[in-house]
Each structure stands twice: as C-alpha cells, then as structure tokens.
Amino acid sequence: MEYSTRQARSGDREQLRNLWRTSFGDSDEYIDSFMEQMCTPERTIVYEELGNIVSAAFVVELGEFVSPEGSRRPCRCVYAFSTSPEHRGWGIGASVIRAAAQLSNEGGAVGVICPAEYSLFGYYRRSAGYKDYFYSYDSSSSDSGVLAYGSAVSVDAAQYLELRRKLLEGRAYIDFSIKSMKFQEQLCLESGGGLFSVIAGGVQCAAAAEIIKGRLVIKELLVPSGPFHTPALLTARALGRRDFSYRTPVRPGEEGRPFGMISGLSLSDEADTGLGWYGFAFD
C-alpha cells in the first residue's frame, strides 16, 4: 500500500532515527541506545506515505502498574511520538497514536503516556482516549549555604528499585522493571547525575538526578514525610551543584500539575485522587 499505518520493520531503523532526530534533536547515541535497549520493531507504530515514514510512536515495556491496593498489571508507555511538520493537521498522527495506545493495552496491560507539554493533554484525550491520571509537584531552588544534616549516597538500579517500592507503597504508581530502571540509571549517570538514597532528618528518601542542559533536575524525589527541600539540597551537594529543580509526588491536600495520562483502566478502577505517580520520563 502507498499509504498505511503499520508496525515497523527492521529495515525502517534509519528512517525512524532521522524522524526522531528531526523532531526532538536528540543525539544519534541516545536514539541508538534507546532503540537497542528499550524497543523492538513489532512494538513500534509508523505511518508510511509513498515509502517514507512520516509519523511514528514507540511502545515501551515499562514494568507493572500498581494500584493503591497492591494489585498489578503489565504497563507499557508510548514514547517519542512524532509527525513530520509538513504532515501535521491531516489526522496522520492521530491514526498512529491510536494504534500505539491499542498496542500498549494488549493483553490487559495499562498504557501510559507523558505529554511533552500541557497543550498535548487535550490532543491525547481526543485522539486516543487517554485520561489524566498522574500528577506531580515541581519546584526549583538553589543552595543558599544553610545547614542541612543528612547524607545522599549513590545506589545502583536494583537498590533504588527496592527503596522506591517501599516509599510508594499504598499509592498508584508504575513499578519499573530492572531493565527499565537500568536504562534510567544509565541516563542519569551519563549526564553526570545518579540514583541516590538520601537520609534527611532521620527519614530515608530517594532521588534520581540527571543533568539536563547544564542544570540539575531531580526527576524523582520521594520523601515520605517532612520538607522536600532538604533531601533535594543534599542530593545537589553530593553532585556539586548549586541550582536545582525537583519533581515529587503530590501529597494529600496538595494541588499538583498533570504529568502523565493512562489508558486501559475501567471506570470502576478510576478512583483518581490525583495521587498517582508516574515517576520517570525519558527526559
């Protein structure tokens, strides 16, 4: 067919890489690493026009979606969805995102997506039936030299996963597989950041830190009680950084911003309190 929405094939890799690079500006090293470690052609949806791939979306096996009660279902995310600028506005991208969402829900799995900007939430609702579900609280700060008692110690992916599960118990969240977690660890370390176990005020916390465009971004800061600033500051000092931002789950009674969306949950599962935690995006 001259025009079709289909699963990718192994011979599509170079076109997929070119579309990704043009759309997002990522390096070939990152694109190749992602394609080799996190996705396969049969988990990639493309739109082909006259032999050219003009839209694509990758479906990634993340791990498991965990309900507040502790039940588990497979979880997949749609990532790096893009359409070439000259092909936007024709419904091409909508056909790709619908097919990718359906693929992410195969076998009873929960599908998730993390929109790159707020305006895309409405697009994903209309095009593929996603629902707002995951929220975050975001803040920025700098080291003013105040005393901060505690420590931030580097841990590996397996240790971080174990700590993360304890800190997120009782909350809806995505429990990343060790493969997904190791990829996140790689992103953090290669940027100059890392995964940390943080002790602040006698409370154990977790922090996943990445240097993005020269700035420390704590992509996940899990603090069971007490203020967020101190464990974020301890993490920044462990990495020798003065300025930093951090992303944390919303606590009861707080108002967060929409961060991620979900598909594949029935209405009976949708007791959405605004406390669902996505965690990492592949920033």
Where do the structural domains in the chain lie, given as residue ranges? 3-129, 136-248
Reported as a single tens digit per residue, the pLDDT across 80-95 is: 999 999 999 999 999 9
Q: What is the CATH code of the structural domain delimited by 3-129?
A: 3.40.630.30
What pLDDT is attached to residue 268?
54
pLDDT, average across residues 196-218:
96
pLDDT band at 111 (very low <50, low <70, confident <90, very high): very high
pLDDT above 90: percentage of residues in the chain: 88
pLDDT, average across residues 32-48:
95
pLDDT at 100 over 90: yes
pLDDT at 140 over 70: yes
Of the candidate CATH numbers 1.20.1440.230, 2.60.40.10, 3.40.630.30, 3.40.50.10440, the domain formed by 136-248 belongs to 3.40.630.30
Q: Let me know how long the chain is.
A: 283
pLDDT, average across residues 241-247:
96
What pLDDT is attached to residue 75?
97
pLDDT above 70: percentage of residues in the chain: 96
What pLDDT is attached to residue 7?
96
What pLDDT is attached to residue 271?
53
128 CB-contact burial (10 Å; exposed 0-12 / middle 13-18 / buried 19+): buried
pTM of the model: 0.92
Per residue, what are the HEC states of 77-112?
EEEEEEECHHHCCCCHHHHHHHHHHHHHCHHHCEEE
pLDDT at 272 over 70: no
What is the per-residue burial (b if ≥16 Cβ within 10 Å, else e) of 154-189?
bbebeebbebbeebbeebbbbbbbeebbbbbbebbe
pLDDT at 206 over 60: yes
pLDDT at 254 over 90: no
pLDDT at 191 over 90: yes
pLDDT band at 273 (very low <50, low <70, confident <90, very high): low
pLDDT band at 252 (very low <50, low <70, confident <90, very high): confident
What pLDDT is attached to residue 266?
75
How many angstroms separate the CA atoms of 6 and 207, rounded? 39
pLDDT at 269 over 80: no
pLDDT band at 102 (very low <50, low <70, confident <90, very high): very high
In which region does residue 201 sit, left (phi positive, over 0), alpha (psi from -120 to 50) or beta (all else)?
left
What pLDDT is attached to residue 2?
79
pLDDT, average across residues 2-6:
89
Domain pair 3-129 / 136-248, same fold: yes
pLDDT, average across residues 110-131:
95
How many angstroms separate the CA atoms of 151 and 235, rounded? 8
pLDDT band at 253 (very low <50, low <70, confident <90, very high): confident
